[in-house]
Homo-oligomer: A and B are copies of this chain.
Amino acid sequence: MELLKNRILKDGKVSEGGILKVDSFLNHQIDVALYNEIGKEFKRRFADEKINKILTIEASGIGIACVTAQYFDVPVVFAKKSKSKNLDGDVYTASVESYTHKNTNQVIVSKKFLSKEDNILIIDDFLAKGKALLGLIEIIKQSGASIAGAGIVIEKGFQTGGKIIRDMGIKLESLAIIESMSDTGLTFRE
């Protein structure tokens, strides 16, 4: 997606420890017009799938999923990262290690909102080692729902997550795949 890649080149910053900061437009301050273009592109890439629900994970996946859901005309479910007393005990759960925050969360989805009749599109902002995505896949498998695919805004192609997910036979569409990244710049996979 050229619009996105150009925006990453213009406003993204690589900081110490291999973190790509896109917080001026993607995951702290949000350019909602860009989210709309992202949503349209996900719809184009998954146009052939009969998706009836989008699953994402808090926090930064939620906005992208909601704007994207407008193009699919389906509800969003977001997985929560800690057990809230607002949730029933009746939940699907998976453990997810966070690369960014260096901790492990229990990720939960109420059993009310996923079932074997569902065909799910997973949406998230980043894919690196794939921990969050694997957690969501685990939760979908527990529910017996089908996985239509996964739509990711930015994939770090030099990390292992993309290969792991594609090797599972899951249709993975990343709108920008970063091939290499350093203080002096970044390149995208063609």
Contact = CB atoms under 8 A, between A and B. Distances in A.
A60 B76 CA distance: 12
Given A59-B59, A85-B101, A77 B30 contact: yes
B78 A59 contact: yes
9 contacts: A17-B85, A23-B87, A32-B66, A32-B70, A32-B75, A32-B76, A62-B66, A63-B63, A67-B70
A21 interface: yes
Interface of A is mostly: mixed
Contact of A86 (B23, B75, B80): B23
Contact of A80 (B28, B32, B63): B28
Given A30-B75, A32-B66, A32-B75, 6 more contacts: A21-B86, A58-B59, A63-B65, A66-B67, A82-B101, A84-B101
